[in-house]
Chains A and B, each alone.
Chain A
Amino acid sequence: MNSFSIKTENLSKSFGAVKALKGVSFDFSEGLLHGLIGSNGAGKTTAMRLLAGLLRPSSGSITYFKDGKAADFAEFRPGLAYMPQQASLYPDLSIEEHLEFFRALYRLDAETYARRSAGLLEITRLGKFLKRRAGQLSGGMYKKLGLMCALLQSPSALLLDEPTNGVDPISRREFWELLYGLAADRVLVIVSTAYMDEAERCARVHLLDDGTLLASGEPRAVLEEAGAAGFEEIFIRRGKGAER
């Protein structure tokens, strides 16, 4: 079991008459790189926001575990980082100013900040652009800066909502390299994505469609069980079934 993990039980969330999540049970206790896979409107962002404590469930429960024991969210929260889907940086602030701001939010001392920011700038290769404003960064660099801000607190659990959305293929590959590195450092990473090819990069996948969980498990096992050649096929079959 991971040192930081999360489990949900019959998790539901409604916004007025719209049911965004319909009794979903996730288990993020085994494997470090999880993918929430689904098309737009499947409920991925709602699930991420619920896990990050930004929304309250309409019903069901979320249990956080720290060092194998159930923990309050308040206890879990300092080790949790979240990167929203929407552009969530300040266009008028430079990379350096962003790092300084997030350093203050996470209350890092000068030495820790210097060490972590140097390390992050090296792996993201953004060191040359410290003075460049976020509004002037390319899509890939922008996402990397968002990830750097989230990682500055050295989290034990990281939630990334569609981090590679709108990013070119090379930047996407670099981004995934960063995530592999985090998983290798025993960080629980939960990534939501609508790109089916990214599902295969995860240790565990959770297929979401219309607020319900279609399948969970290791990518190969999920495909074998569904008898599908790829994840797209599972969703297409489901769509055709719904039409009938």
Chain B
Amino acid sequence: MNITLRAFIKKELAQTLRDVRMRVLLFGAPVIQLTIFGLALSTEIKNIKLAFFYAPDDVMARRLEGDFYSSGWFKPVDFTAGEDPLELIVSGRADAAIIAPDEGLARSSERGEGRVQLLVDASNATKARTVETYVKTIISAGWAGKGGGAANPPPVKLDVRVLYNPAMESSLFLVPGVMGMVVCLITIILTAMSLAREREMGTFETIVSAPLSDAEILLGKTIPFVLLGLAVTALTLLAAYFFFGVPVRGPLWQLALGSLVFIITTVSVGTLISTIAKNQQQAMLGGFIFLFPAILMSGIMYPVENMPTTVIAAAYLNPLMCFMRILRSVLLKGGEAYVFWTNMGALALMAMAAGGLAYNRFKQTLD
């Protein structure tokens, strides 16, 4: 081999492999990506939370319910008799509800009026379309399996009521997702690079030699990015409202408080990354190592419910997933209190954990 070429190869390999952080990026990141893509991500929609309402003596409806849950696509929701199906969907406890007629499905079918109502949460339009298709398939298959024949239509008619997004526009689902993603990306990368830039430029030495406390330096370095993050949120919200017609159905204070706590969390994560990174390049890479799985496991593109149980548990440590749930709940569903406060609580805990870790790792020395 050409001696110059060999020297270049040797130099590049030495430069890359001597740095522990680069080794992690090189060998750790592919494993994480493979795990997420291979195990966790699926475009097939499963584990749909379905509440089936029927009279206690309605045998046909009970059989139909069995068909739904044994299909593998749906899973039952715990609820008590008398609960409002709509409330179950508003609170996020159910993705869909099927309501059989009070007189019993068999009796109403005999009269040729066998109708079941399907309520479906269409804040995720793709998921809603799939739910509707699944429900129709199961009803048809059930009828065919009971001797009805595939050619004849089943006596049970489906009365579909699409909630939150009647036109099933994908943009209503995707735009809030992209909003959350943009805010997350900007705040984490900017914050992570800020302290790293001070280190690289040498200005960190000047700052830490000034008679300031750790808290003063950290707050001084992070508050500007919280403010910038809020400005970006407001800007993306205005664009979503005016250009994409995304509604704001919930209270604005929920949106403001949710955004603030989410941004504090992402800025804390960015600060934590910057306490580990030696320079801006490493801070940027560290930011993307966090962002890549965070975006994939946020429910923006792939439903979190389809992922394996252990991955779902990890997804609950993802601030972007909590913020997505708040955003979609406030923008599309009117901001249900349960959804808001549970996700806010999780975000606040994450903010405290990331902020506390960053504070502990931050030292006013160059050791």
Contact = CB atoms under 8 A, between A and B. Distances in A.
Interface stretch (A87-95, A170-178, A217-225): A87-95
Interface residues of A, number: 24
A81 B366 CA distance: 17
Contacts of B367: 55-56
Contacts of A77: 211
Contacts of B208: 54
Contact of A55 (B201, B202, B212, B365): B365
Contact of B205 (A56, A81, A88, A106): A88
Contacts of B15: none
Contacts of A83: 206
A82 B209 contact: yes
Interface residues of B, number: 15
Contact of A54 (B211, B212, B365): B365
A54 B366 contact: yes
Contact of B209 (A52, A56, A90): A52
Q: Main secondary structure on chain A at its contact with chain B?
A: loop
A105 interface: yes
Interface string B200-216: 01110111111110000
Interface string A66-91: 00000000000110111111111111
A177 B158 CA distance: 92
A156 to B, nearest CB: 13
Interface in B254-296: none
Contacts, number: 51
A208 interface: no
Contacts of A56: 365, 367
Contact of B211 (A55, A78, A91): A78
A49 interface: yes
A53 interface: yes
A147 to B, nearest CB: 12
B179 to A, nearest CB: 29
A183 interface: no
Interface in B184-229: 201-203, 205-212
A33 interface: no
Nearest to B216: A105
A56 to B, nearest CB: 6
B205 A54 contact: yes
Contact of B206 (A53, A78, A84): A84
A88 B366 contact: no
A149 interface: yes
Nearest to A81: B209
Nearest to B206: A88
Given A54-B365, A55-B366, A56-B365, A88 B201 contact: yes
The listed residue with most B CB atoms (<10 A of its CB), out of A54, A80, A106, is: A54
Nearest to A105: B210
Contacts of A102: 210
Contacts of B209: 52-54, 80-82, 84
Nearest to B200: A86
Contacts of B365: 53-56
A88 B205 CA distance: 8
Interface of A: 49, 52-56, 77-78, 80-91, 102, 105-106, 149
27 contacts: A49-B205, A53-B365, A54-B209, A54-B365, A54-B366, A55-B367, A77-B211, A80-B209, A81-B209, A82-B205, A82-B206, A82-B209, A84-B202, A84-B205, A84-B209, A85-B202, A87-B201, A87-B202, A88-B203, A88-B206, A89-B203, A89-B206, A91-B201, A105-B210, A105-B212, A106-B210, A149-B206
Interface of B: 201-203, 205-212, 364-367
Given A52-B209, A102-B210, 5 more contacts: A56-B367, A82-B205, A83-B206, A89-B203, A105-B210
